[in-house]
């Protein structure tokens, strides 16, 4: 089963409605639509926190300044929830992006400690 299938806006909306109604589980919807469980979870997160507009294809990726990234990382480190809470607070539709930022900072810090 291909895990990186492109879904139409209508398919994404249907997945969110089915999950919201309790018609199927994350795993069941993932199997039914040929995507990963994480993709279903992310769609539901976007829908619940940012509305139906967030399910539409973006023409390009959004870019964030370094200062904004550091502010979000600090919010995460200060215990303002997991990755999803700062994502909602700072209107970042993909909470996994925050994880990449945090891990990137940790990797850089460890690199500098090992290679002074």
Q: What digits encode the pLDDT tens for the residues 82-92?
A: 888 898 899 88
User: CA nearest 70: which of 104, 27, 93?
Assistant: 104
**Does pTM surpass 0.85?**
no
pLDDT digits (tens, 9 = 90+) for 48-79: 999 998 888 876 778 889 899 989 999 998 88
Angle between helix axes 37-50 and 26-33 (nearest 10 degrees) is 110
Residue in 78, 99, 79, 12 with CA at minimum distance from that of residue 51: 12
């Amino acid at each position: 089963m291909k895990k990186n299938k492109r879904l139409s806006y209508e398919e994404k909306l249907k997945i969110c409605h089915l999950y919201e109604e309790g018609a199927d589980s994350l795993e069941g919807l993932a199997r039914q639509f040929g995507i990963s469980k994480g993709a279903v979870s992310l769609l539901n997160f976007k829908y619940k926190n940012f509305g139906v507009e967030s399910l539409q294809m973006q023409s390009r990726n959004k870019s964030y300044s370094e200062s904004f990234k550091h502010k979000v990382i600090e919010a995460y480190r200060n215990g303002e929830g997991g990755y999803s809470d700062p994502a909602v607070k700072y209107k970042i539709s993909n909470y996994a992006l925050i994880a990449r930022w945090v891990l990137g900072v940790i990797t850089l810090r460890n690199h500098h400690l090992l290679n002074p």
